[in-house]
């Protein structure tokens, strides 16, 4: 009985935080389709893959597993679990899941028009690929990368990377790894292990070509990869200060640059309208 009561309380809390109710319609936003599994983790069996744009019904349960929040959903396939990053509540679907050059520069005033034009397609493509497709997710993501990259002006860490030499926790096990795998991209991934993992996830050999992480076509994708691996969309979905602060702490390890991050977030919400 206690377990049942706790489960109900958890579900009600989730509904209050995320605005989801049992039976709500969700729309698949993953461009290449969304895998449905028979449990809340990528280790569970694959049931089917839902095409982009398909509607499913929320089953009233949320669970954490394998770095994601999973929703129980139902459809013609029966019922199963999907990663929450890749579905949108239907009532939010009218939001334009892309950012314009004008909006990007309004959020990041130190970004030149030339760079905005160069980056915009890669940025929007990466966000769409990774399910950063609602106003709340986009504003949080844009604010964080704005701070981390100086309004998208720094895609390579200024320091040499020598401080990371011998950092086995980063996978730096060979001489020169610290410099070779220093921070790159809008959210600067660091260390051989992270370059390897990001490259495997994106289908790019970053371990042998680490400077590619500083190129915009790959850099924005590594930032989204990091965002999703840390499960940040579930906190961004709150669209409140507590959720955004959690994103900050998971990216930074603390609250360094909090004022600048917060200011970018407030500006982004004003520009994008959420």
- Residues 273, 267: Cα–Cα separation, whole Å: 10
| Collapsed DSSP state (helix, strand, coil) of residue 265 | helix
Token duo for residue 188: 């600067």
Hey, which residues does 71 pair with through a beta bridge? 62, 82
Residue 70's SS3 state is strand
Two tokens, residue 232: 């940040």
Burial-class residue 150 by CB neighbours within 10 Å (0-12, 13-18, 19+): middle
73 in helix, strand or coil? strand
CB 160 within 8 A of CB 131: no
Are 71 and 77 contacting, i.e. CB atoms less than 8 angstroms apart? no
Structure tokens at 41: 């983790």
**Active-site residue flag, 148:** yes
> What DSSP element (H or E) covers 176?
none
Specify the 3-state DSSP secondary structure of 229: helix
Three-state DSSP state, 157: coil
Given the residues 148, 165, 207, 259, select the one marked as catalytic.
Answer: 148
Nearest Cα neighbor of 84 from 105, 66, 107 is 66
Write out the catalytic residue numbers. Answer: 148
């Amino acid at each position: 009985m206690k377990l049942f009561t706790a489960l109900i309380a958890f579900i009600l809390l989730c509904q209050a935080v995320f605005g989801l109710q049992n039976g709500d319609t969700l729309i698949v936003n993953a461009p290449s389709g969304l895998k449905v599994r028979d449990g809340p983790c990528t280790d569970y069996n694959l049931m089917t893959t839902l095409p982009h744009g398909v509607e499913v019904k929320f089953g009233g349960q949320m669970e954490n597993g394998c770095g994601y929040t999973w929703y129980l959903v139902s459809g013609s396939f029966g019922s199963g679990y999907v990663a929450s990053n890749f579905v949108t509540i239907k009532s939010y679907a009218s939001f334009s899941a892309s950012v314009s050059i004008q909006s990007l520069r309004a959020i990041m005033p130190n970004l030149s028009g030339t760079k905005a034009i160069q980056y915009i397609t890669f940025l929007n493509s990466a966000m769409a690929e990774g399910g950063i497709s609602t106003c709340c997710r986009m504003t949080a993501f844009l604010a964080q990368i704005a701070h981390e990259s100086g309004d998208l002006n720094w895609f390579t860490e200024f320091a040499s990377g020598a401080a990371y030499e011998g950092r086995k926790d980063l996978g730096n096990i060979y001489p020169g790894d610290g410099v070779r795998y220093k921070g790159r991209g809008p959210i600067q991934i660091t260390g051989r292990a992270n370059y390897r993992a990001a490259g495997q996830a994106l289908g790019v050999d970053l371990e042998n070509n680490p400077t590619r992480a500083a190129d915009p076509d790959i850099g924005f994708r590594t930032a989204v990869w990091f965002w999703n691996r840390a499960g940040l969309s579930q906190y961004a979905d709150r669209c409140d200060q507590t959720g955004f602060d959690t994103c900050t702490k998971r990216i930074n390890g603390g609250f360094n640059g909090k004022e600048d991050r917060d200011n970018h977030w407030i500006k982004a919400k004003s520009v994008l309208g959420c």
